[in-house]
């Protein structure tokens, strides 16, 4: 997000791009580029602690449209996305693997209406 923090002026979103191999997600995003049908996208990042996977970051993008798909060679592809809103939750963990709420953060923003929005509780969907 550009314009956040100590910047002056209203926030504007920056380009979002993903690098993906050839898979079903890429095929779906390519179809979206043609159809122009908005969708919701969730990205999760996990870390291992004490042999278990813990959700560390969850990003949710709403009213997303694919803006481009480019081949980078070697089976990698770059996908450009435009979105109206996003939320991000970062979960910190203590030494015992419990969520440390004092060091965890949440942020959400609606660019279409230029306002801060609520953030849903993070939910580990890939490795519950």
Q: Any idea what the CATH number is for the domain that residue 44 is in? A: 2.30.110.20
Tell me the three state secondary structure of residue 109: strand
Is 1 a domain residue? no
The predicted pLDDT at position 69 comes to 83
Is 51 a domain residue? yes
The predicted pLDDT at position 4 comes to 46
DSSP 8-state code for residue 12: B
Is 10 a domain residue? no
The predicted pLDDT at position 90 comes to 97
Is 128 a domain residue? no
DSSP 8-state code for residue 101: G
* Distance, CA of 114 to CA of 29 (rounded, Å): 26
| Tens of each residue's pLDDT in the chain, 128 residues | 444 444 455 556 666 666 666 677 778 888 888 888 899 989 899 999 888 899 999 999 999 988 888 877 777 788 888 899 999 999 999 999 999 999 999 999 999 899 999 999 999 887 76
Is 48 a domain residue? yes
Is 3 a domain residue? no
Give the number of other CB atoms < 10 A from CB of residue 3.
Answer: 12
Residue 52 is inside which H or E element, if any? strand 52-73
* Distance, CA of 73 to CA of 92 (rounded, Å): 36
Is 91 a domain residue? yes
Is 62 a domain residue? yes
* Number of domains comprising the chain: 1
The predicted pLDDT at position 80 comes to 85
Q: Which domain holds residue 58?
A: 16-116
Angle of CA points 46, 1, 85, to nearest 5° = 80
* Distance, CA of 94 to CA of 103 (rounded, Å): 9
Alpha helices (runs of H) in the chain, residue ranges in sequence order = 24-35
């Amino acid at each position: 997000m550009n314009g956040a923090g100590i910047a002056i002026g209203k926030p504007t979103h920056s380009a979002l791009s993903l690098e993906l191999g050839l898979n079903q997600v890429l095929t779906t995003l390519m179809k979206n580029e043609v159809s122009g049908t908005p969708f919701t996208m969730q990205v999760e990042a996990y870390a291992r602690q004490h042999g278990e996977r813990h959700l560390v970051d969850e990003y949710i993008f709403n009213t997303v449209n694919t803006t481009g798909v480019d081949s980078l060679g070697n089976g990698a592809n770059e996908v450009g996305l435009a979105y109206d809103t996003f939320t991000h939750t970062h979960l910190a963990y203590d030494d015992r693997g419990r969520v440390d709420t004092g060091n965890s953060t949440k942020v959400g923003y609606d660019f279409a209406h230029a306002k801060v929005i609520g953030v849903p509780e993070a939910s580990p969907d890939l490795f519950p």
